[in-house]
Amino acid sequence: MTYPRFVVTDFETTGHASKGNDRIIQASFVVIENKQITGQYTSFFNPETPIPVFIEELTGITDEMVKDAPLFHEAAKDILPLLDGAVFVAHNVSFDLQFLQSELERAGYMPFSGAAIDTVELARFVWPTSDSYKLGDLTGNLGLSHDRPHQADSDAYVTAEMLLMMIEKLADLPMVTLEKLEQLAVRLKSDIYLLIKAIIEEKQLNIEQLSEKTEVYRGLALRKKNVEKRMIEKNHLPYPETNEEKRALLSVMSHFEPRQSQMNMMDLIHESLQSSSHLAIEAGTGTGKSLGYLLPAVYRSKERKEPIIVSTYTIILQQQLLQKEIRQLQELLPFRLLAAVLKGRSHYIDLYKFSQSLKEKRDSYDFALAKMQILTWLLETETGDVDEINLSSGGELFWNEIKQDGDYMNKGRKAWLDKDFYLHAKKQAKEADIVITNHSFLVADLMAKTPVFPTYSHVIIDEAHHFERAARDRLGLSIDQITFKHLFGKIGLYDQKELFFNIEKLFAKYQQTQDEEKRRAVDRKLQELQFESDEWFKVLQMFFEQHTKKRAGNWHRRQLRLTTETRNLLYWDHVEYGAERIDSLLQELVVWMKQQLEKMGKFREQMAAAEQAKMDGFKETIEEWQAYQLALEKIIFRPEDDEVIWMEGDSRSFANTFVIKAHPIEAVKLIKETILDKKHVIFTSATLTVNGSFRFFAEESGLSAFDHKEVILPSPFDFKQNCRMIIPNDVPEVKSVHQEEYVESLANHLTAVAEAAKGRMLVLFTSFDMMKKTYDLMKDSGLLDEYILLAQGITNGSRARLTRNFQRFDKAILFGTNSFWEGIDIRGEDLSCLVIVRLPFAPPDDPFTQAKNEQFAQKGKNAFSAYSLPQAVLRFKQGFGRLIRSSTDRGIIIVFDRRIQTSAYGKTFLQSIPPIPVEEAALDETISIVENWL
């Protein structure tokens, strides 16, 4: 079979409504024959309607450019021969195909009836680890020249080049992988199976030779794994003590800038590691703290011949450490450095489960695509870690079915033991000099009876301002309807043919008998449990809605703390009655399940691999049911004095969002007993101090009870020269007027400032509701039609995607809450103006804040100065840190909350950031300052 002829297409249009009034303004068709680009046809079209300002800004195509262009129907005679017998290809093909069909219909032609391929869908499994499938992001990663994004000729040509690269990559895949991809591709939305079929037929003409990095095991093609062994250095490796020695070592790095603060940090870390005395070190933006702790850590690891653990809060920092700093160190060190990442078991794929899942014949679209992504990923990954792969939300549901979940060793899993990724990660960690992990898993391992980590003495905790919270989260319990439905669905009623059905069939097979009466009784109990749980969650909703109101500033989100007083409110007795019935039913069913498991245990060795896997799934489900039952009992019937319990949910979608949580009020005891007593710990972050003091962090983390050293390393950046703060004095105090009036004033100011700054503005809110109202007002005003407005939770996309889009457009404004206050790294002129709308105090009705305040009051302390203020200051410092990210950055920060100037505590915020010029100004003056400064 020869390859089909492909016509790779891109249209620029006046909008998204192909069925409405929107029209094509530019079209380009690139012809590919025999895997070669053989021609391109491009034309502007007169849409007979004005081009919107937004489209003009995006594409650069103006009314003037299309004024004398042909109408689409006039050019159709040139276009139709190109499409005849071809496969229609586009990036997001449904969009272009709909516009083509609409234009053909208007022109009186028959619709296009050939095959179509979507390069977005194709790219998702060809490059499963790409963090974005937007054309610009893909082509940028591939090094393809794309000089005029959003112009049809440039977009179509680069899409054609990308298609050829994807065909080439697919042709290099092993035949076993291609055959599985072809079977799954029939579930996709576009006709990709035709392409895979052509590649297979071409490959069949030659004898296959696998790459030396690839192996085929039990019908699955995988990348070979090797455990690298730790290099034991024969000679003593002296740490570079002097600045000259450090400079000589580091100067090998490209773009190396000698930073005294970084070298000071290296010496402080080295000294702490040698003396094993705890250290807290605040390293300001630009210190280069990752290398600052990694370099001395590597020398100490080599000296002790054991790994040093580095723990982070975010995946982003883990990836940065491994892909950037560790690689830099590997290049410049005079010896070999080995680093490994170790995470919780559920991060890793279970190859036996995945191989079994490929036998399923009834895949949904999401499951089929996820399987295709994993098939190609297995030829690349050495870790099997889900964080590498970009799965859709439906793909994540599939991952839950194939992730590692227990130590059960059935025949099926035994066969895959040598290929197991989790075991490989543990083996590699034993050989590593540096083991990178996350706070949650580190805490879990410290609490475990049999730890996973290899023996270690030193741990460096980066992003340490999150460590206490991560420990609390790890100790927390929760109950929600989605989890219950998921657990119930795994067992299922007998007719649903899930685990209950399968176990009963196994029981009948090996016991040679089946107690029909008992089976029906258990089925009735399961039906009863299903009914009771549905009723109970209705009661919970009624109780919750009766006793809550929408939280000020949080839109539809509501919270209700469960206290002694709350448990005396109307309908709480109904909540307890329902919980008792569910608890009793769960208890009965768990007893039955355990009995079945025990009876079947003696037949285990006779069972086939798939049957053993069913038994292991049954055992795992019993453990999950017991954990759920324990959470129910503790939260509803046995609350502890030292924990905070609360309900939360979204009034628009109660069933999907409602949850009851129980968290300890503090994790000091846990941190002291499991880590500070037993290990040497270095805490580091850019935000650990309040007004120059570590006191708040030291008390929250338990560090204050130990001898330790505290050091602040200020940022090397010249903030005084490159940054200034404006506090608008003509915006009303938020509490002195209705929210609508305040938001209107805020939107007017932000609109004016955005025009003065030409976009490039990040606006940080503490309230989603206020953010949405401000965003809507600014968007609807029509004054910012030339600007791209991006808002967290309103415009589509993850934090990373919104940030990338913000950087792509010249005139962009980014609105964010919560997670946008930290972890965003936008350098240079892309971000020139940072706006903080309100000082980031936790809402007074936040359940955790309430419980914390009560705890401090019991100790006779002022809860505001002991807890609320320091928390807000640390958050403010994180937000402030978004603006100046390099030594050449310049910017303005506007703080709309005048309490920073007028309140007694306001100076604490200002004294906790680098000294910069601060001035109050009215709107006209603010605009003038912004224009002159930027």
pLDDT confidence of residue 556 = 67
3-state helix, strand, coil in the chain (%, to 5): 50, 15, 35
Q: Are 307 and 301 in contact (CB under 8 A)?
A: yes
**Residue where one domain finishes, among candidates 184, 206, 228:** 206
For residue 487, what are the contacts with CB-CB under 8 A and spacing of at least 6?
Answer: 621, 624, 625, 628
Query: What phi and psi, each to the nearest 5 degrees, are found at residue 27?
Result: -135, 145
**Residue indicated by tokens 């195909």:** 97
pLDDT confidence of residue 512 = 75
**Residue indicated by tokens 């069939």:** 505
Asked whether residue 657 falls in the same domain as residue 749, the answer is: no
916 within a domain of the structure (yes/no): yes
Burial of 143 (0-12, 13-18, 19+ CB in 10 A): exposed
Asked whether residue 124 falls in the same domain as residue 27, the answer is: yes
SS (HEC) of 527-550:
HHHHHHHHHHHHHHHHHHHHCCCC
**Residue indicated by tokens 């059935």:** 410
Asked whether residue 483 falls in the same domain as residue 577, the answer is: yes
**Residue where one domain finishes, among candidates 143, 176, 206:** 206
Residue 735 DSSP one-character state: G
CB-CB neighbours of 688 under 10 Å: 24
CB-CB neighbours of 397 under 10 Å: 15
Rounded to an integer, what distance in angstroms lies between the CA atom of residue 479 and that of residue 636? 10
Both structure tokens of 402: 């194939």
39 is in an annotated binding site: no
User: Are β-strands 308-312 and 458-461 bridged in parallel, bridged antiparallel, or unpaired?
Assistant: parallel
449 within a domain of the structure (yes/no): no
pLDDT confidence of residue 384 = 95
What's the CA dihedral at 359, 360, 364, 365 to 10 degrees?
10
Rounded to an integer, what distance in angstroms lies between the CA atom of residue 771 and that of residue 781? 15
Rounded to an integer, what distance in angstroms lies between the CA atom of residue 486 and that of residue 666? 31
Rounded to an integer, what distance in angstroms lies between the CA atom of residue 91 and that of residue 123? 10
Q: Are 346 and 263 in contact (CB under 8 A)?
A: no
- pLDDT tier at 550, thresholds 50, 70, 90: low
Residue 638 Cα distances to 587, 588, 590, 630, 667, angstroms: 17, 20, 21, 10, 20
Asked whether residue 768 falls in the same domain as residue 903, the answer is: yes
pLDDT confidence of residue 617 = 86
Q: Are 342 and 452 in contact (CB under 8 A)?
A: yes
Residue 593 Cα distances to 508, 602, 609, angstroms: 15, 15, 21
Rounded to an integer, what distance in angstroms lies between the CA atom of residue 529 and that of residue 586? 8
CA 734 to chain CA mean position, Å: 33
395 within a domain of the structure (yes/no): no
Q: Coil, strand or helix: which one is 90? A: strand
Q: Is the pLDDT of residue 220 over 80?
A: yes
458 within a domain of the structure (yes/no): no
276 within a domain of the structure (yes/no): no
SS (HEC) of 180-205:
HHHHHHCCCCCCHHHHHHHHHHHHCC
Asked whether residue 785 falls in the same domain as residue 918, the answer is: yes
DSSP 676-702: ITTSEEEEEES---BTTB-HHHHHHHT
Burial of 37 (0-12, 13-18, 19+ CB in 10 A): middle
- pLDDT tier at 795, thresholds 50, 70, 90: confident
Nearest to 922 by CA among 731, 762, 745: 731
| 739-753 tens-digit pLDDT | 889 999 999 999 999
**Residue indicated by tokens 């594409």:** 59
Q: Are 461 and 311 in contact (CB under 8 A)?
A: yes
Within 606-736, residue ranges assigned H as helices are 609-632, 654-657, 668-671, 695-701, 719-722
- pLDDT tier at 87, thresholds 50, 70, 90: very high
For the segment 856-864, the average pLDDT, to the nearest whole number, is 91
For the segment 813-817, the average pLDDT, to the nearest whole number, is 93
Rounded to an integer, what distance in angstroms lies between the CA atom of residue 756 and that of residue 930? 6
| 34-50 tens-digit pLDDT | 999 999 999 999 888 88
Number of folded domains in the chain? Answer: 3
| 500-512 tens-digit pLDDT | 998 999 988 888 7
| 422-453 tens-digit pLDDT | 999 999 999 999 999 999 999 999 998 889 99
For residue 807, what are the contacts with CB-CB under 8 A and spacing of at least 6?
Answer: 826, 830
Asked whether residue 772 falls in the same domain as residue 905, the answer is: yes
Residue 332 Cα distances to 189, 248, 337, 341, angstroms: 48, 10, 10, 21
Residue 282 Cα distances to 26, 261, 265, angstroms: 54, 11, 10
Both structure tokens of 486: 């998921």
Q: At 30, which CATH number?
A: 3.30.420.10
Q: At 801, which CATH number?
A: 3.40.50.300
Integer-rounded Cα Rg, in Å, for the chain is: 31
CB-CB neighbours of 898 under 10 Å: 18
- pLDDT tier at 555, thresholds 50, 70, 90: low
Q: Is the pLDDT of residue 652 over 90?
A: no
| 336-347 tens-digit pLDDT | 999 999 999 999
Asked whether residue 506 falls in the same domain as residue 571, the answer is: yes
E strands, 128-231, in order: 214-217, 220-223
Asked whether residue 730 falls in the same domain as residue 628, the answer is: no
Residue 839 Cα distances to 89, 397, 469, 903, angstroms: 50, 38, 21, 12
445 within a domain of the structure (yes/no): no
Residue 134 DSSP one-character state: -
Q: Is the pLDDT of residue 800 over 80?
A: no
Both structure tokens of 829: 């002129």
Rounded to an integer, what distance in angstroms lies between the CA atom of residue 543 and that of residue 548? 9
674 is in an annotated binding site: no
Asked whether residue 748 falls in the same domain as residue 867, the answer is: yes
552 within a domain of the structure (yes/no): yes
Nearest to 261 by CA among 714, 732, 925, 651: 714
Asked whether residue 613 falls in the same domain as residue 730, the answer is: no
List, in sequence order, every residue forming a beta bridge with 116; answer none if it has no partner: 88
Share of the chain above pLDDT 70, in %: 99
Share of the chain above pLDDT 90, in %: 67
pTM: 0.88
**Residue where one domain finishes, among candidates 206, 238, 254:** 206
Rounded to an integer, what distance in angstroms lies between the CA atom of residue 733 and that of residue 714? 33
For residue 132, what are the contacts with CB-CB under 8 A and spacing of at least 6?
Answer: 138, 800, 801, 804
283 is in an annotated binding site: yes
SS (HEC) of 339-363:
EEECCCHHHEECHHHHHHHCCCCCC
288 is in an annotated binding site: yes
- pLDDT tier at 486, thresholds 50, 70, 90: confident
Q: Are 31 and 83 in contact (CB under 8 A)?
A: no
Higher pLDDT: 436 or 767? It is: 436
483 is in an annotated binding site: no
Range of the domain at 108: 6-206
pLDDT confidence of residue 273 = 97
| 95-153 tens-digit pLDDT | 999 999 998 988 889 999 999 999 999 999 999 999 888 888 898 888 887 777 778 89
Q: Are 381 and 351 in contact (CB under 8 A)?
A: no
Rounded to an integer, what distance in angstroms lies between the CA atom of residue 214 and that of residue 32? 31
- pLDDT tier at 552, thresholds 50, 70, 90: very low
Asked whether residue 633 falls in the same domain as residue 734, the answer is: no
Burial of 282 (0-12, 13-18, 19+ CB in 10 A): buried
Exposed e or buried b for every residue in 569-595, given b needs 16+ CB within 10 A? eeebebbeebbbbbeebbeebbeebee
Rounded to an integer, what distance in angstroms lies between the CA atom of residue 746 and that of residue 740? 10
**Residue indicated by tokens 């792969």:** 389
Asked whether residue 656 falls in the same domain as residue 735, the answer is: no
Amino acid symbol at 57: E
| 566-575 tens-digit pLDDT | 999 989 999 9
Amino acid symbol at 838: R
Rounded to an integer, what distance in angstroms lies between the CA atom of residue 161 and that of residue 146? 11
What's the CA dihedral at 866, 871, 877, 880 to 10 degrees?
-130
* Chain mean pLDDT for the chain: 91
